[in-house]
Amino acid sequence: MNYNNNIEDLELMTLTSENSDLVKGFVTAHYIVDTPLFQMCSMTKEELCNTYLTRIDGMLACNLSFGFREKSTGKLIAMCANTLSPNKAHLVPNVGDSIMYRYINTIGDYGQEIGAKTYMTFGSACVSPKYAGLGLATKLLNQSVAKGVEIGCEAIGMYSTNSFMHRIADKMGFRILKRSRFEDFVDYDGTKPFHGKNVGPHVDLVVYYKWLKPTKDTMSV
């Protein structure tokens, strides 16, 4: 973990369609495929980036996404791309017909499951390794929660396979809607493509949610 970076040099920004090139540059530079999971799925960097690049303009148009930029260089070093649902924008197009996205799309419409009519999805969180572990993803999620409250969303949700994101969600009082193991995923042809395979730290796909308005559910706790 790097403790030498100057947090004072960072500024939080709302990412909009005007920042499209900045965001695309960041995604292309930082999304990597050299993890056991991506290798197991034989996913190329181009396919991985395209899953985001094809959706990013629609996400940025919501004006609900955030990033951190270095004031001195203008470079984006962290981002999240959020969407307002119900519009299924959080589901991933199956670029390259990857097993991974067939699996991720099993999460379905979580807002409907929890009974929320308007909900925001926190997604595509990514922090430059240079700034890892300094609380930036936590701040991006905090900012997203505040935005959800401001625009009157009933709930905010997110899904992740990343253990650091699991930690942040727990810390911020998110509830788990469902958790599934890569190991157990049954593909359309009845096979279990992840069974017995090394998917590195990505063990569970967890869908989280947090109510932003009082509900019967939260008031009884």
**In the complex, which residues of this chain contact ligand COA (CB under 6 A)?**
1, 125-127, 132-138, 160, 162, 164-165, 167-168
What is the SS3 string spanning 25-78?
A: HHHHHHCCCCCHHHHHCCCCHHHHHHHHHHHHHHHHCCCCEEEEEECCCCCEEE
One-letter amino acid of 208:
Y
DSSP 188: T
Nearer to ligand COA, 126 or 153 (CB): 126
Using CB positions, name the residue nearest to ligand COA: 137
Among residues 207, 179, 189, the alpha carbon closest in space to that of 91 is found at: 207
Rounded least distance, CB 201 to ligand COA, Å? 9
Rounded least distance, CB 66 to ligand COA, Å? 12
Nearer to ligand COA, 93 or 115 (CB): 93
* 3-state SS class at 154: coil
Rounded least distance, CB 88 to ligand COA, Å? 17
Nearer to ligand COA, 5 or 215 (CB): 5
Asked if 105 and 94 count as a contact pair (C-beta separation under 8 A), the reply is: yes
Rounded least distance, CB 136 to ligand COA, Å? 4
Nearer to ligand COA, 100 or 127 (CB): 127
Nearer to ligand COA, 25 or 115 (CB): 25
Spatial separation of the C-alpha atoms in residues 110 and 207, rounded to whole Å: 8
Rounded least distance, CB 15 to ligand COA, Å? 15
